[in-house]
Amino acid sequence: MIDLNQISQLIIPVAHAQEAAASSGGIAVLGLNVKFFIAQLINFGILLLIFWKWILPGVTKAMQARTERIEKSLTDADRIEKEKKEFDIWRQAEMGKARTEASSIVTAAQTEAGNAKQAILDQTKQDQQKLVDQAKTQIESEKNKALQDAKGELADLVINATEKILRKKLDSKVDQEYIKESLGLVK
Amino acid sequence: MLSLPPLAAEPIFHIGSFPITNAYINSTLGVVVFAVFAYFLNRSAKKYYATGAPKGLVNFFEYLIEFVLGYIDGVTHDRKKTMKFLPIVGGMFFFILFSNWVGLLPGTGSFGLYRGGEFLPILRPANTDLNLTLAMAVFAVVASHILGIFTIGFFKYANKFIKFGDIYQAIKSLSPIKILVAFIEFFVGLIEVFSEVAKMVSLSLRLFGNIFAGEVLLTVLASLIAGYGAFLIPIPFMLLELIVGIVQATVFSMLTLVYLSIATSEIHGHVEENHQEIEVSEVEAI
């Protein structure tokens, strides 16, 4: 509950203050005093000095350094981006050149390979023909030699058979048998 | 028994012949807290900046500084100037905010001693002492003049107040209108000198008045209702005082910033001057 006596007590100090102000010229009642003023000024000065010299530098220097680092990073990022774009353009051009060069190299290589292949094929065909010819000649000579050998052998057999026929004087039936026998050996 | 805080801070003890008041104890406490904070901040800063990204206290303080830098940048539009004003404006803002908020903590105004049957609180919000608010206001205005002189030169700066240069130029032009305007501006310049005193008075009284009124309001509300009501009723008003604390810290530091900004900028014409004066009046209206 609000007590009216207490409200009246509020008014009394104000009235006292007004009286004191009237008697002391007004300024003393506010507590203004040169000594206190200087003391508070010194206190405030010390506080500002602490703030200025001791609190701010550590943090603001670090903040400044960080800001500079971020600005530098942004500048570097812009520069890198620009360089990347330039590099991309250069790379595209170089890739185009390389592709053209590679294409001409491949074409030249293909032509050269085709020529080399044709040359090798021709050479191989020639060598093959040569070998076939050599083989044919050798087979012909071997065949001739074999025929000669067979003829010689046949002649010997005929001679042997004739000799045997003549030595034993056998009849025609026995002759025939010998001849057949001899001919059977020839086969 | 209702005991309203007196307008003047009360002496608690003496060092030699010098009386130490409860508000002075609070402002000294602020200095000590700032020094301790600086110690821990530097220790954390060394640790974190060596390893990379900041954490904890350093990170939080960086956020606060970024916030304040944003505000200052909004007025100066020049990061170089912002960095020059930051120690004054930032220091002022954090100190006023700390002093205002610490006054709401239990212990301030409630712990004390009885002397001659009267209760004397050992701690009293620092900004309820007009000596401190006036000291800060004087510092702000004097600093703006010193920085102004160093930035734009003594004679150019003096010409903002004592406009002999304008009268000379007007007489040289032989134009009666220009001469009349120059003389009017000369007297306006003289009025500016008085406005500098008004700046100190308004800055100091505004902060003192708001914070002292808050103290009185909380005391009255706590005393009006007996029982648990005495604890519950002031709570919404304490929350309001939190807002008042930050608003007053912002107003004081922003006005100081505007004074610094005006003092360190060259006068190009009346339009710009008027624009800056509008900005000041907008902040003062808060």
Q: Could you report the per-residue pLDDT of B193-240, keeping only the tens digit for each?
A: 889 999 999 999 999 999 999 989 988 888 887 777 777 888 888 999
pLDDT for the residue numbered A2: 46
Confidence of residue A19 (pLDDT cuts 50, 70, 90): low
Quote the DSSP letter at residue B128: G
The answer to whether B146 touches B88, Cβ cutoff 8 Å, is: no
CA distance, residue B127 to nearest chain A CA (Å): 11
Confidence of residue A109 (pLDDT cuts 50, 70, 90): very high
Question: Is the Cβ pair B9, A36 closer than 8 Å?
Answer: yes
Residue B258: which of B148, B135, B179 has the closest Cα?
A: B148
Percent of chain B with pLDDT over 90: 44
How remote is the C-alpha of B219 from its chain's centroid? 25
Question: Is the Cβ pair B224, A6 closer than 8 Å?
Answer: yes
Domains of chain B, residue spans: 11-150+198-285
Please give the Cα distance from B219 to B3 (Å, whole number): 8
Taking the Cβ of residue B70 and every Cβ of chain A, the question of whether any pair is shorter than 8 Å is answered with no
Taking the Cβ of residue B85 and every Cβ of chain A, the question of whether any pair is shorter than 8 Å is answered with no
Confidence of residue A1 (pLDDT cuts 50, 70, 90): very low
Please give the Cα distance from B104 to B243 (Å, whole number): 12
Amino acid at B68: V
pLDDT for the residue numbered A15: 47
Q: Which of A45-49, A177-181, B8-12, B150-154 has the lowest mean pLDDT?
A: A177-181
Residue with tokens 């009216």: A4
Residue of A nearest to B227 (CA): A1
Higher pLDDT, B21 or B48: B21
Residue of A nearest to B208 (CA): A30
For A83-107, how does the pLDDT look when each residue is reduced to its tens digit (9 = 90+)?
999 999 999 999 999 999 999 999 9
Confidence of residue B272 (pLDDT cuts 50, 70, 90): very low
For B118-132, how does the pLDDT look when each residue is reduced to its tens digit (9 = 90+)?
888 889 999 999 999
Domains of chain A, residue spans: 28-186
For B67-99, how does the pLDDT look when each residue is reduced to its tens digit (9 = 90+)?
999 999 999 998 889 999 999 999 999 999 999
Residue of B nearest to A34 (CA): B131
Please give the Cα distance from A70 to A62 (Å, whole number): 12
pLDDT for the residue numbered B202: 95
Residue with tokens 């004191």: A20
Confidence of residue B29 (pLDDT cuts 50, 70, 90): very high
Please give the Cα distance from A137 to B121 (Å, whole number): 141
Q: Chain A residues contacting B, CB < 8 Å?
A: 1-3, 6-7, 9-10, 13, 17, 28-33, 35-37, 39-41, 43-48, 50-52, 54-56, 58-60, 62-63
